[in-house]
Structure 1
């Protein structure tokens, strides 16, 4: 049975249900509530109240998202792009990436090790294959180049 979102209480309850599952950004939560049929004029006041109460927090969402994606083997470029597509401010994204505490070179090494077993490419085709995979995952070209040339982060 679908919940009818025509009152502030119903909207708040649905928003809290979504937040109970995982952190959400304001833009993402707004989109989900609209998809469920909530009128736009009732969404903003409900989200403002959740923000005031500390239940909806962009910085907590950013921290959670960056941590989750980094642990999943994604690099800073991919994470930055995904957060931008979710409607978050560029300055907030940059701050979250700076403050996350991840050593991106180490994360790159772990991702490469997991996918390719730590075997350096023996020819250009293999080097291109490994490079494409790692850059698709969101690691900068210079880091990938150092790793695949056997230099790692020891320049």
Structure 2
């Protein structure tokens, strides 16, 4: 097999694998490039295919960041965790759905998560339980202020908030 034919095979494989992956879900450019490199494809071929897919609008880091952020927020994760996960995937800007949410929105989400997981009992006399719930919310990616405010609430939440 000549080098020309091998290059064509690599390009065909890169295109088909990338398209198949994008058909399943959105990917960031970095994620897609990594998955193609795992298949032992040439970096120049990967770069050319990803450039073409960006030009066609099939690959879009901004669209990926918005969709990924919304999904993670709906799963109960806070702004710190969402930003960290995006950075791991090569996204170094804050999507609108994260930046437009005010602190009160994040506190409400942390409160809903706390109510679902633990209930809203009074924690003023149970330091160990308060710390356990605080660690849980912190691991979920809420800031210290958001966690503290969510732990202060003792009554049922009005779902209309």
Short-chain TM bin: 0.7 to 0.9
TM-score scaled by length of structure 2: 0.82
1:135 aligns with 2:133: no
What is the rounded CA distance, in whole Å, between the counterparts of 2:65 and 2:23 in structure 1?
16
CA RMSD of aligned residues (A): 2.2
- Does the 8 A contact of 2:120 with 2:153 survive in 1? no
Aligned with 1:8 (options 3, 11, 14): 11
Give 1 or 2 for the bigger CA radius of gyration.
2
| Equivalent in 35, 42, 62 of residue 65 of structure 2 | 62
Following superposition, the deviation at residue 38 of structure 1 comes to: 1.3
Distance 1:6 1:99, change over 3 A: farther
- Of residues 82, 86, 89, the one that matches 2:85 is 82
Structure 1 residue 98: Cα displacement: 1.1
Unpaired runs of 5+ in structure 1? none
The one of 48, 51, 56 equivalent to 2:51 is: 48
What residue in structure 1 maps to residue 98 of structure 2? Answer: 97
CA–CA separation in structure 1 for the residues paired with 2:90 and 2:69:
15
Q: Distance in 2 between matches of 1:93 and 1:6?
A: 38
Residue in structure 1 matching 2:110, options 108, 111, 114: 108
SS of residue in 2 equivalent to 1:7? helix
Instruction: Name the CA distance, whole Å, in 1 between partners of 2:22 and 2:121.
Output: 42
TM-score relative to the length of structure 1 = 0.85
1:63 and 1:96 in contact (8 A); partners too: yes
Runs of 4 or more off by more than 6 Å in structure 1? none
8 A Cα contact 1:67 1:100, kept in partner: no
Structure 1 residue 87: deviation in Å? Answer: 2.1
Give the length in aligned residue pairs. 146
